[in-house]
Structure 1
């Protein structure tokens, strides 16, 4: 073991740029799909001073198996897979790589919004099958439409800027956001549901907002609304969304996150032509992989170096 201790990575790899920052530590990988018993066993064996969370959940049992643990650093911006109450009770800091994947996720949200508005997937399939639907197909023009964003952090604000550049009116809801740019009009959720032609979710998952986009919220939306979710699947009542798509209340939905991941198969969304699916890869680009790894490594060092200086 290195003199500075071990760092457990709940994944199979870490960017070389991040590893260079952590060269004085022993790096232990948990693999691509670690389960709690795996993480507990690795913690007992290596007693890490830090955990960098890529996949899987880190709860009290994992923390208790690592007496030297000082920081849990998320390889990304969402910390809902970490039991923050348990960490706080044990004096363990939780850090996130805020903004490291903002460009990647905002681009994925725009890709899904455009795919929904322009029927990209359906028209591609029709063309490959030998059809030419020019005389019968009408796409949605986003210019002049209203988009409602729930969550105005680094990702939400970047997406808002893209929408504004396309000539869309931008509504936003985020009780914690400060100093918003002038093209975002802050509204309550009821107004956002009622006035938006398209809705995109960019907020963290909390006990308070779990299932926020439910049957009542969807019914309050404009008929034919477009729904995009690149945040967390738990924000959406999946059964209610499926019903709203089938009824036409929701014209199309583009989803990059799901209530259970990996998405169970068979899943009711599979085979639905107006639900576009991607496997939670919004933040998975070559650039974001490096950015998130480096940010996660720096967060580890900030806590450990800070403790050493304070000692």
Structure 2
């Protein structure tokens, strides 16, 4: 093992390579590893360029060739958020022994190929839980009180017509005493529950995998939650079982005039069914940060529903604290690995 640990910081325009390098510098002197280190920085295009599948991995940014080039010269460690760690990249980088992904799951890494090539893979769970929870509450409030629509009328069109949202028929809902259902009670959902309880909402939770005390009332089935909620906010992971979790049948269970919020994963919702419910008036609104396909296609029906839908381009986890926290979690894992300690968040 060389006395110099050779690292690639393949950041992007959110988790900057500089943040990764500085985080590693901060860990190294304090905790010590017995080795010096040398960082090669690479800046990938996300989020200025959309992520997508690269070869066999999902939600990646950049190309296999530029990553292979960056990993040349016996680079042992890769810290990244979006780089495509494919079978081809792993086989072309025989010195690579550790990959740390600065996000909640390493979907941009071929885990099977990593095992075959004896590469450990770590990730950064919980890095954006607080930011996403805060964003969810903000988006929910925006949808309930028609804030973006009123802003667009006044600031964009210089029109006072937004005053119609003060009429009884068009005024919004307030959170106090409002029945709000949360689907999922993980790191994000639990924070949203605490925030909504502080507003005085009647919080209900459906999560068959969570035990113990919760903030709010636990309900036994998704159907029950939907029937009783004026607002439903999704916080479930995307799995084969949860894909399409909310479709036309589920939307029909909601009380008329309900609002759906999704800052989790777009494919949890059947988007056509959602548009049908909004167009028919079954739902009075929706607040969306994630979509079935990203970027949203120009022909999406959602764009014709701007008076009922608040839309943001997958910004739930976009805070400076998230980028800094992700870099710090990754750097700490690199330090543990270099010292031969047990890794905290390791999948292979």
Provide TM-score, normalisation by structure 1.
0.85
Rounded Cα–Cα distance in structure 2 between residues aligned with 1:223 and 1:232:
24
Deviation at 1:111, TM superposition (A): 0.9
* Alignment RMSD (CA, Å): 2.9
Pick from 13, 21, 24 the counterpart of residue 23 of structure 2: 21
Deviation at 1:78, TM superposition (A): 4.5
Pick from 226, 235, 241 the counterpart of residue 202 of structure 1: 235
Deviation at 1:154, TM superposition (A): 1.5
Note if contact 1:257-1:279 (Cα within 8 Å) is conserved in structure 2.
yes
CA gap 1:196/1:302 in 2 versus in 1, 3 angstroms? farther
Note if contact 1:224-1:251 (Cα within 8 Å) is conserved in structure 2.
yes
Higher mean Cα deviation, 114-123 or 175-184?
175-184
Deviation at 1:28, TM superposition (A): 3.5
Rounded Cα–Cα distance in structure 1 between residues aligned with 2:258 and 2:20:
41
Structure having the higher Rg:
2
Rounded Cα–Cα distance in structure 2 between residues aligned with 1:101 and 1:238:
25
For this pair of structures, how many residues does the alignment match? 309
Higher mean Cα deviation, 152-161 or 75-84?
75-84
**What are the residue-to-residue correspondences of 1:267-286 with 2, within 5 Å?**
267-272=300-305, 273-286=307-320
Deviation at 1:304, TM superposition (A): 4.7
Could you say what secondary structure the match of 1:271 adopts?
A: helix
Corresponding residue of 1:164: 197
Structure 2 stretches of 5 or more lacking a match?
Answer: 26-36, 56-61, 344-348
Rounded Cα–Cα distance in structure 2 between residues aligned with 1:165 and 1:122:
26
Corresponding residue of 1:297: 331
Note if contact 1:149-1:170 (Cα within 8 Å) is conserved in structure 2.
yes
CA gap 1:53/1:16 in 2 versus in 1, 3 angstroms? closer
Deviation at 1:268, TM superposition (A): 2.2
Deviation at 1:283, TM superposition (A): 1.0
CA gap 1:15/1:29 in 2 versus in 1, 3 angstroms? closer
**What are the residue-to-residue correspondences of 1:129-278 with 2, within 5 Å?**
129-131=159-161, 132-133=163-164, 134-135=166-167, 137-272=170-305, 273-278=307-312
Deviation at 1:89, TM superposition (A): 5.7
Provide TM-score, normalisation by structure 2.
0.77
Deviation at 1:63, TM superposition (A): 3.6
Deviation at 1:285, TM superposition (A): 1.2
Note if contact 1:171-1:187 (Cα within 8 Å) is conserved in structure 2.
no
**What are the residue-to-residue correspondences of 1:43-62 with 2, within 5 Å?**
43-45=67-69, 46=71, 48-55=75-82, 58-62=85-89
Deviation at 1:217, TM superposition (A): 1.6
Note if contact 1:32-1:55 (Cα within 8 Å) is conserved in structure 2.
no
Rounded Cα–Cα distance in structure 2 between residues aligned with 1:49 and 1:264:
40
Rounded Cα–Cα distance in structure 2 between residues aligned with 1:168 and 1:88:
47
Structure 1 stretches of 5 or more lacking a match?
Answer: none
**What are the residue-to-residue correspondences of 1:103-122 with 2, within 5 Å?**
103-122=130-149
